[in-house]
Amino acid sequence: MMRKSLRDIPGKRKKGDGIDSGSTLRRISPLLTVACLLLLWQWISARELISPILVPPPSAVFQAFIDALADGTLLKHAAVTLEEMFYGLLLGVGIGLVIGYAIAKAPLLENILSPIIVAFQSTPIVAYAPLLVIWFGSGIASKIVTTAVIVFFPTLVNTIVGIRGVSPNLRDMMRSLKAGRWQTFRHLEAPSALPVILAGLKTSTTLAVIGAVVGEFVSQGSGLGYLVTLARNLYDTPLVVVAVLTMTAISLTLYGLVAYVEWRFLAWQRRPRP
Amino acid sequence: MRLSLRELSVSFPDPEGGAAPALGPISFDVADDQFVCVVGPSGCGKSTLIRVLGGLLPATSGEARCDDELISRPPSQFAIMFQDANLMPWRTVLDNIALPLEIAGVPRAQRYEMVRSLLPQLRLEDFEQLYPAELSGGMAQRAALGRVIVQQPRVLLLDEPFGALDALTREKLSLELLRLRQRYMQTIIMVTHDIGEAVLLADRVLVISRRPGRLVEDIAIALPRPRKPEMKYHRDFIQLSKRVREGIEDINA
């Protein structure tokens, strides 16, 4: 087929022609950064430049990790945080998508809602999280709400931008094809806004951890945020580090998941220009 | 299908709160099966005319009818092609051309079959799995043409469909349009700023004045069909092109 011959045009990138080795270096360079930081950390601890109570050596952190894993503490608290994040994301992203779409379609709605939304967004969540605990109790509900509130905004803004960015010419074309509301949404608005919405979702997932942990700080009980407070009170610095790094891992994994969805569903964006 | 415009005019609101006339009043009729080209200076409301006929824009006063039916929203059996190919970047060539069928509810297997039977005539049979970003301008415009033909419209509205292409590709595509027209469509109204293109393709050329566009010349093109590029050097062709040009120059004088 023609596809093949298009790919074989001289001057196009091919495997093993030197460009790839460059991109391999680029791909592993984040890992190199992490490795260097670990080495630096080990070196500081080994020479006891800083007290081990302040900065525990990697070995102590690893031991704390193994212990917390073995007695089930880590998984128990991580599962709680994950659950809060999951429902928080579902709620916040869901509401963000719906209100974002409505605002994009009806500019009047933006005038009505923007004072509330902007006020919510510009008030630090840490400040009003206690209020949320008073309203929603000290159980999982208040943490879901703090997460939802924090992930709502990026989703909202990106949905508005994405839907408003739909090409007016394509809208005209859909109208001339007698497409209904649902068809216009499904065939034009949704796929056209998807790249921007997914970019917003990437931001939202990383914020979700913050939302859940802020909730856990404010109302104690369980979760990785609670584990941090608990370990700090016991001067168990290695466990604090373990809990923090677990949050990082969760956040990175979710981010990677969205990045994968992006890669998978936006394949058309990677197509080469002729 | 017959079209008739009666004292049609369109104006747009201007910043001062008034109305800026963009087109007309203009009146003309298009007979069934006729190929009409509309030429005029840029900004004379040609695109506005196409949008009104396509039911995408309401007339400010007067009316446009199709077979005595008032055009107030996109009529069935009408298809529009714009200056940009206007393809959806997330759809392959095949899926872009199949879009109108998908919206009309034609099942997948059937719509792919219909599109694939059309692809060789558009010279796109080897490119059906490509995305718009991978296409040249001419290929993209051929895909857009395919998306129009697949609708089997009785009336085709073309808004400078080949305006963004180089002269040779443009001539090739417009002759392909004529060839495809013999098989698939009937009435065509095409806006262009290329006099040669208008005379080569049309049964009739309408010259529109500067904004707000009014009809200043209505020239019948009695050249034999099928039209061929060599006709451009024929005496009659040159005569007709000259008349169109003079019509446009009168406006500018």
**What percent of chain A stands above pLDDT 70?**
91
Span B214-240, average pLDDT: 84
Assigned domain for A7 exists: no
CA distance, residue A146 to nearest chain B CA (Å): 36
Assigned domain for B123 exists: no
| Domain identity same for A139 and A227 | yes
Determine whether the interchain pair B74/A179 forms a contact, defined as Cβ–Cβ distance below 8 Å: no
pLDDT, residue A5, reads 43
Domain with A124 in it: what CATH number? 1.10.3720.10
CA distance, residue B172 to nearest chain A CA (Å): 21
pLDDT, residue A248, reads 92
pLDDT, residue A9, reads 42
* B135 chain-A contacts, CB cut-off 8 A: 274
Determine whether the interchain pair A268/B86 forms a contact, defined as Cβ–Cβ distance below 8 Å: no
> pLDDT tens-digit profile of A89-117?
999 999 999 999 999 998 888 888 888 88
Contact assessment for residue B98 and residue B78, using Cβ atoms and an 8 Å cutoff: no
- Supply the DSSP string of A25-88, one letter for each residue: HHHHHHHHHHHHHHHHHHHHHHTTSS-TTTS--HHHHHHHHHHHHHTSHHHHHHHHHHHHHHHH
Span A82-95, average pLDDT: 94
Span A194-201, average pLDDT: 91
| Domain identity same for A39 and A99 | no
Confidence class for position A1, pLDDT limits 50, 70, 90: very low
* B99 chain-A contacts, CB cut-off 8 A: 177, 187
Q: Quick check: B164 pLDDT over 80?
A: no
Assigned domain for A261 exists: yes
Assigned domain for B36 exists: yes
Q: Quick check: B3 pLDDT over 80?
A: yes
Assigned domain for B47 exists: yes
Which among B56, B129, B136 is the nearest to A3, CB-wise? B129
Assigned domain for B132 exists: no
Domain with B189 in it: what CATH number? 3.40.50.300
Assigned domain for B74 exists: yes
Distance CA A10, CA A143 (A): 57
pLDDT, residue A8, reads 42
Lowest mean pLDDT among A49-53, B74-78, B141-145, B196-200: A49-53
Assigned domain for A264 exists: yes
| Domain identity same for A36 and A69 | no
pLDDT, residue A163, reads 93
| Domain identity same for A168 and A257 | yes
pLDDT, residue A16, reads 43
Tokens for A18?
A: 């030197």
| Domain identity same for A26 and A141 | no
| Domain identity same for A152 and A31 | no
> pLDDT tens-digit profile of A210-249?
989 988 888 878 889 999 998 888 888 889 999 999 999 9
Distance CA A99, CA B28 (A): 47
Distance CA B142, CA A126 (A): 57
* A179 chain-B contacts, CB cut-off 8 A: 103
pLDDT, residue B185, reads 60
> pLDDT tens-digit profile of B50-66?
889 888 888 888 888 88
CA distance, residue B94 to nearest chain A CA (Å): 14
CA distance, residue A150 to nearest chain B CA (Å): 31
pLDDT, residue B143, reads 92
On average, the pLDDT of chain B sits at: 86
| Domain identity same for A26 and A136 | no
Determine whether the interchain pair B80/A176 forms a contact, defined as Cβ–Cβ distance below 8 Å: yes
Determine whether the interchain pair A176/B56 forms a contact, defined as Cβ–Cβ distance below 8 Å: yes
pLDDT, residue B57, reads 87
Span B20-24, average pLDDT: 82
Q: Would the pTM of this model clear 0.90, i.e. be above it?
A: no
| Closest-CA residue to B39 (of B178, B177, B228, B218) | B218
Which among A1, A169, A273 is the nearest to B82, CB-wise? A169
> pLDDT tens-digit profile of A5-52?
444 444 444 444 444 556 788 888 888 998 898 888 888 888 877 787
Total count of domains within chain A: 2
Span B219-245, average pLDDT: 84
Chain B, nearest residue to A182 by Cα: B103
| Domain identity same for A65 and A201 | yes
* A1 chain-B contacts, CB cut-off 8 A: 126
Chain A, nearest residue to B133 by Cα: A273
Domain holding A33, by residue range, is 15-49
Span A201-207, average pLDDT: 90
pLDDT, residue A156, reads 92
Assigned domain for A105 exists: yes
Domain holding B179, by residue range, is 3-85+154-252
Assigned domain for A6 exists: no
Confidence class for position A119, pLDDT limits 50, 70, 90: confident
Three-state SS sequence of B103-132: HCCCCHHHHHHHHHHHHHHHCCCCCCCCCH
B127: contact with A, CB 8 A cutoff:
yes
* B90 chain-A contacts, CB cut-off 8 A: 191-192, 194, 266, 268
Assigned domain for A24 exists: yes
Amino acid at A82: L
Total count of domains within chain B: 1
Which among A167, A194, A268 is the nearest to B131, CB-wise? A268
Contact assessment for residue A100 and residue A156, using Cβ atoms and an 8 Å cutoff: yes
| Domain identity same for A82 and A25 | no
State the distance between the two ends of chain B, measured CA to CA, in whole angstroms. Answer: 36
pLDDT, residue A60, reads 85
Residue A244, SS3?
helix
Which among A1, A179, A266 is the nearest to B103, CB-wise? A179
* A12 chain-B contacts, CB cut-off 8 A: none
pLDDT, residue A273, reads 60
Q: How far is CA B167 from CA B35, B162, B188, B196, B228, in A?
A: 21, 9, 21, 11, 15
| Domain identity same for A110 and A32 | no
* A192 chain-B contacts, CB cut-off 8 A: 88, 90
Assigned domain for B50 exists: yes
Chain A, nearest residue to B89 by Cα: A268
| Domain identity same for A88 and A114 | yes
Q: Quick check: B17 pLDDT over 90?
A: no
Span B221-250, average pLDDT: 84
Which among A2, A169, A192 is the nearest to B86, CB-wise? A169
Assigned domain for A144 exists: yes
Span B12-34, average pLDDT: 85
Assigned domain for B139 exists: no
CA distance, residue A273 to nearest chain B CA (Å): 5
Determine whether the interchain pair B79/A176 forms a contact, defined as Cβ–Cβ distance below 8 Å: yes
| Domain identity same for A133 and A157 | yes
In this structure, the strands spanning B61-66 and B78-81 are unpaired
Span B103-110, average pLDDT: 91
* A169 chain-B contacts, CB cut-off 8 A: 82, 84, 86
**What percent of chain B stands above pLDDT 90?**
16
Span B115-141, average pLDDT: 88
CA distance, residue B126 to nearest chain A CA (Å): 6
Assigned domain for A196 exists: yes
